Structure 1
Amino acid sequence: MPLTTRQRSIHNKNGTKRSASIGKGKRPRKSSEGEYLVTNAPSDLRSISYPGGAVALALLIIARLISAYWGHIADCDETYNYWEPLHYLVYGSGLQTWEYSPIYAIRSYASLWLFAIPAKILSLFMTPVSVFYSLRAILAVLTACAELMFYKAVCHEFGVHVGRVWLCFTLPAAGCFASSAAMLPSAWSSALVSAALACWWRRRYVAAVAFTAATTLLSWPFTALLGIPIAIDIILIKRQYIDFVKWSVLSLIAILFPIVIVDSWYYGRLVIAPWNIVAYNIFTEHGPDLYGVEPWTYYFVNGFLNFNIVWVLSLSCPLLLVSCHAISSRSTSRAPFCCPYWLSLAPLVLWLMVFMLQPHKEER
């Protein structure tokens, strides 16, 4: 089936397929993975101005560092469930919430040590306030790097038109500003999921599985849901069953084993913190709705506050895709080496379906 003008092509070294848009005597640009990145549309890469990797990274770092310096802490969980225990790991003192009680043990010390190690080093020659801002700056830079991976993957998978629009919408987004420097699992997962999706769209399946395991075990276990489309692609479409099992088991051992060792040492008993938080929120009667819940409109209002018109467009995306396919099936067709649009959009649909059906605990 012929490609549309917005589609991109990846061709292997053997050169069995070459795009007709490459002029005679012109060699396609070769990527670090040994693949040729070419385009079906003459107007795509060669004549359209769009930010390159260095420019995009600079813009993202500036925007995220602004958040690190001027953004305030809006969530009490960030203060008492992450900064306080982190202060305890670095300086030996800090308040303890019930989540860190050995009775419940639903928070992991292992993920905090990833920040406590640089914080301890910085504390040797910095004041606690300077260490605080330095850690927020580190979070901001890491988030910007993950967003750069996502930006380049969007350009690669959907074209530079979409990538350029994504960058313009992401830089000033209130939701990205609030989460980029936050010491919260949901903020960490935002960056890790971005990296996982980026690796998936670039066909780097090992890294995609590893980032999905990292966000599930080190950060927020519920984000494992977003790994389902990646698994569908690897298992059902690419049919790499053995490789998927191997990558998943290796990632599980490499990440979960140290977590269990660290948390069990701190809690004084065998603890699997990622499982404990899932069990508490789903399989108990006193889960997230213990102190009341928000109305069903919470996610609609919150999404609009954080992303404005982008939120409206994202909700209409599945309907627009179906309409385009009904009008002209060629407009939604993709090359065999690209993910179908429905699969690429599946993480958004799965996340919205599950969380909009679940009550959100009342914000206090």
Structure 2
Amino acid sequence: SEFALRSYLYIIFHELVGRPASWLFAEEKVRVFYAVRLFLGFLSLISDATLVVALSRKYGKRLASYALAMLCLASGCFFASTSFLPSSFSMYAMSLSSGLFLLEKPAWAVAVAAVGVILGWPFSILAFLPLTFYSLAKQFKQAFLSGAVTSIALLALSILVDHCYYQRWTSSVFNLLVYNVLGGGESHLYGTEGPLFYIRNGFNNFNFCFILALLFLGILPIARKKYAPDLLIVISPLYIWLAFMSLQPHKEERFLYPIYPLVCVAASAVIESFPDLFRDKYNPYDNSIIVMMAKFLRPVALSLILCASHSRTFSLINGYAAPMEVYKILEHHDDAG
């Protein structure tokens, strides 16, 4: 409590489900645990569904279906979606905000971004900047008022809640930023990694989906008319966040959670554009053999990615389920707290 770095507003938010579940299941803590996880999964479902619907309306059903498959089955998204972490909450906000932006609702997109930063993880503000700036450029008055009102209301509520728990007037959001940005924090004490850590970790969680996502900028010269500027604005935080976090000495897998949905969207856009890479630019209806092969390659690439992701997910569940199995027994043991 000396530094007041943790937001109690974020924790209290989960009482919306945790408290009723504890009344319903009494002393069965494992059921309460899973009730909260189901709630988090539902939030992820709503935010990702909004993003997929937006992609479908703006870029077609093929791109949306590819993104949907990856969001559902990518190993990284699978585990991040139900994690009780501020970075996961910022991930929900990123999906929802991006979807609202593509649906031409910039004011709502900025408001959701503010919720993701203040209620979730304050550092994720960097990832929301491109979308926020472009929304302000589209509808300055509405987007500015929406973001300002949401931010002020949440900050005031956060300060009130922090006062109740820390017994002094303070802001955990501000404290966290000051502690880490202005040199008060010593995050390197918890371990440091090289600049390629997130590249390796991204491949570990998304396999070739991550590699394809990084290649999105490479297809822009060919698919500029199709994806620029809106989809580029939505995907740009992937590169900004990855570059920024790679420069920090202390690295953790969860730090990339806010951009996980963007990895799936970027990779889907690249796969969907395979035929465009070989099509005659002066003949949009070119159906040469190489173009037909590229079309055939799309479901093949997607299937390989999904199979590898599915295998990793089940491997992790099978290999690391012991703590939960033990906890199921301990909760009924008389000596267990």
Relative to the length of structure 2, the TM-score reads 0.70
Q: Of 142, 161, 174, which aligns to 2:75? A: 174
1:349 aligns with 2:250: no
Please point out which of 186, 193, 198 is paired with 1:294.
193
Q: How far did 1:151 drift?
A: 0.9
Amino acid paired to 2:202: G
Matched letter for residue 200 of structure 1: F
1:333 corresponds in structure 2 to 225
Aligned to 2:279: none
Corresponding residue for residue 260 of structure 2: none
Name the structure 2 match of 1:74.
Answer: none
Q: Show CA shifts across 1:260-312 (max 9, x none).
A: 10011110111111111111122115332123301222101110011111100
Partners of 1:251 and 1:142 lie apart in 2 by: 19
Alpha-carbon spacing, 1:229–1:286, altered in 2? closer, same or farther (3 Å): closer
Residues 106 and 150 of structure 1: CA distance in aligned 2, closer, same or farther (over 3 Å): same
Whether 1:111 and 2:10 are equivalent positions in the alignment is: yes
Q: CA deviation at 1:158?
A: 2.2
The verdict on how the C-alpha distance between 1:307 and 1:118 changes in structure 2, with shifts beyond 3 A counting, is same
The number of residues matched between the two structures is 251
1:264 match: 163
The answer to whether the Cα contact below 8 Å between 1:292 and 1:362 also exists between their aligned partners in 2 is no
Deviations 1:84-122 (A, max 9, x none): xxxxxxxxxxxxxxxxx1x11100111111112422222
The one-letter code of the counterpart of 2:122 is P
Q: Distance in 2 between matches of 1:290 and 1:188?
A: 26
Q: Distance in 1 between matches of 2:224 and 2:171?
A: 44
| 1:235-246 pair list within 5 angstroms | 235-236=136-137, 238=138, 240-246=139-145
Deviation at 1:340, TM superposition (A): 4.2
- Mapped to 1, the partners of 2:74 and 2:239 lie a distance apart of 20
* Alignment pair present for 1:162 and 2:54: no
> Compared with structure 1, are the counterparts of its residues 173 and 277 closer, same or farther at alpha carbon in structure 2 (3 Å cutoff)?
same
C-alpha deviation, 1:227, in angstroms: 2.3
Is the counterpart of residue 142 in structure 1 residue 32 in structure 2?
A: no
Q: As a proportion of its length, which structure holds more helix?
A: 2
Structure 1 unmatched ranges of 5 or more:
1-100, 325-330
Aligned positions of 1:250-261 closer than 5 A: 250-261=149-160
With over 3 angstroms needed to count, the CA separation of the structure-2 counterparts of 1:333 and 1:304, relative to structure 1, is same
Matches within 5 A, 1:199-238: 199-236=100-137, 238=138
TM-superposed deviation, 1:143: 1.0
| Deviation, structure 1 residue 230 | 2.0
Q: CA separation of 1:362/1:352 partners in 2, compared to 1, >3 Å: closer, same or farther?
A: closer
Instruction: Name the CA shift for 1:169/1:334 in 2 (closer, same or farther; >3 Å).
Output: closer
Identity among equivalent pairs (%): 29
Q: Per-residue displacement from partner, 1:8-67 (whole Å, max 9, x unpaired)? A: xxxxxxxxxxxxxxxxxxxxxxxxxxxxxxxxxxxxxxxxxxxxxxxxxxxxxxxxxxxx
CA deviation vs aligned residue, 1:181-202 (integer Å, no higher than 9, x gap): 1111111111111001111111
SS of the aligned residue for 1:163 comes to: helix
Cα gap change, 1:214 to 1:289, in 2 (>3 Å) = same
User: Structure 1: how far apart are the matches of 2:230 and 2:9?
Assistant: 37
* 8 Å contact from structure 2 (residues 10, 119) kept in 1: yes
* Structure 2 residue identity aligned to 1:125: L
Instruction: Give the aligned residue type for 1:320.
Output: I
Contact 1:150/1:195, CA 8 A, preserved across alignment: yes
Q: Tell me the distance in 2 between the aligned counterparts of 1:163 and 1:252.
A: 31
1:362 Cα deviation from its structure 2 partner? 6.7
Q: Which has the higher contact order (CA 8 A, sep 6+)?
A: 2
Counterpart Cα distance in 1 of 2:56 and 2:250 = 34
Cα distance 1:187–1:235, how it changes in 2: closer, same or farther (>3 A)? closer
| C-alpha spacing 1:241/1:362, structure 2 compared with 1 (3 Å) | closer
